[in-house]
């Protein structure tokens, strides 16, 4: 399969539109000479040892969950490790793709996988994702009669992008026309300028921002009301098994013990404090939180489990490998890196 075909599958499994606005997702390195994609390597982080692994297996595409290219480069030199990796990818004709927060947000993605380690429950999204597309605004105004309205609508039709306008009219109590017009942000200024030039429309004009529809099941973080509550001690063991780790860090909430029962769990993969902080739950699960963020949670009676940043994400790679393999078939080999690991370890 060619690169564009593989990218289409990747983006179908997790649309890039779900990524956070600050993120750098999608195709980050594109080879100048097209070649069929026969081997894909999945990794949480693209490090020197993972690149060595990719080169040794003659990899065509690296899917790195964390984007190895995030901040802009002004030059490509050998003195910086990320620049060296970029040069090696270019010289080796290896494409690099990063999904990052699109995998976090998508239904069935990283955060659903993470909360699934606690067992079945009623799961909801903490920070709801909304459909993509231009921001729209609703303009409500009235006209004295149909003739005045037709004159205004004719002027509005000359605005660039007016083909996307949605307009409805009803007769009001005074015999005039009440108008409801929806337009994109790009056309808002021009539309308002026309309406304020009309005395009656200007006096009755009301502008509101249209809320984009939510994408059910998608967004950052998850809250689970467990079908079968467990003790804090059991929760720790469940997460050790789920993440494949011998050790986790635990902070007990005020007045809590290892035998305290956990009924509600808030999770966010990676560095999740900004998403889960303030959420009412018996237990927080994430990769990392600052000292003071942990203290804040504990003071509210919420216990905290920390696994280190990438350990809260890496296990999803095998789940995604199976999904990708099912879509690409036997013609493409999809492997999970054996060299990828969190840089921190307990010794």
Q: Is 292 annotated as a binding residue?
A: no
Q: Is 100 annotated as a binding residue?
A: no
Q: Give every CB contact of residue 105 below 8 A, 6+ residues apart in sequence.
A: 14, 18, 19, 20, 111, 129, 218, 219, 220
- Give the per-residue SS3 of the chain: CCHHHHHHHHHHHCCHHHCCCCCCCEEEECCCCCCCCCEEEEECCCCHHHHHHHHHCCCCEEEECCCCCCCCCCCCCCCCHHHHHHHHHHHHCCEEEECCHHHHHCCCCHHHHHHHCCCCEEEEEEEEEECCCCCEEEEEEEECCHHHHHHHHHHHCCCCCHHHCEEEEEECCCCCEEEEEEEEHHHHHHHHHHHHCCHHHHHHCEEEEECCCEEEEEEEEEEEEEEEEEEHHHHHHHHHHHHCCCCCEEECCCCCCCCCEEEEEEEECCCCHHHHCCCCCCEEEECCCCHHHHHHHHHCCCEEEECCCHHHCCCHHHHHHHHHHHHHCCCCEEEECCCCCCCCCCC
Q: Is 200 annotated as a binding residue?
A: no
Q: Is 313 annotated as a binding residue?
A: yes
Closest CA to 206 of 155, 136, 135, 137: 137
Integer Cα distance of 110 and 307 in angstroms? 14
Annotated binding residues for a divalent metal cation, written as ranges, equal 66, 104, 309, 313
């Amino acid at each position: 399969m060619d690169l564009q075909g593989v990218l289409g599958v990747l983006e179908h499994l997790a649309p890039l539109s779900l990524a956070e606005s600050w993120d750098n997702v999608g195709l980050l390195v594109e080879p100048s000479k097209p070649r069929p994609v026969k081997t894909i390597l999945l990794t949480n982080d693209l490090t020197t040892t993972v690149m060595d692994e990719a080169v040794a297996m003659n990899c065509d595409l690296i899917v790195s969950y964390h984007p190895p290219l995030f901040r802009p480069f002004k030059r490509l030199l050998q003195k910086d490790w990320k620049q060296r990796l970029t040069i090696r990818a270019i010289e080796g004709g290896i494409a690099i793709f990063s999904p990052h927060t699109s995998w976090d947000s998508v239904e069935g993605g990283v955060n659903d996988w993470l909360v699934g380690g606690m067992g079945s429950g009623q799961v909801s999204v903490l920070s709801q994702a909304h459909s993509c597309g231009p921001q729209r605004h609703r303009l409500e105004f009235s006209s004295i009669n149909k003739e005045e309205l037709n004159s205004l609508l004719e002027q509005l039709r000359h605005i660039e992008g007016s083909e996307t306008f949605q307009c409805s009219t009803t007769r009001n109590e005074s015999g005039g026309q009440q108008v409801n017009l929806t337009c994109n942000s790009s056309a808002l200024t021009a539309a308002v300028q026309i309406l304020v030039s009309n005395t009656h429309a200007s006096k009755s004009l009301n502008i509101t921002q249209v809320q984009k529809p939510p994408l059910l099941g998608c967004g950052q973080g998850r809250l689970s009301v467990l079908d079968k509550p467990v003790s804090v001690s059991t929760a720790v063991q469940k997460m050790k098994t789920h993440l494949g780790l011998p050790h986790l860090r635990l902070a007990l909430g005020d007045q809590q013990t290892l035998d305290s029962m956990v009924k509600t769990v808030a999770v966010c993969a990676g560095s999740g404090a900004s998403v889960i902080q303030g959420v009412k739950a018996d237990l927080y699960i994430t990769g990392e939180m600052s000292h003071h963020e942990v203290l804040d949670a504990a003071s509210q009676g919420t216990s905290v489990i920390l696994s280190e940043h990438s350990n809260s994400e890496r296990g999803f790679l095998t789940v995604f490998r199976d999904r990708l393999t099912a879509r690409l078939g036997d013609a493409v080999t999809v492997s999970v890196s054996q060299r990828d690991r969190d840089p921190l370890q307990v010794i």
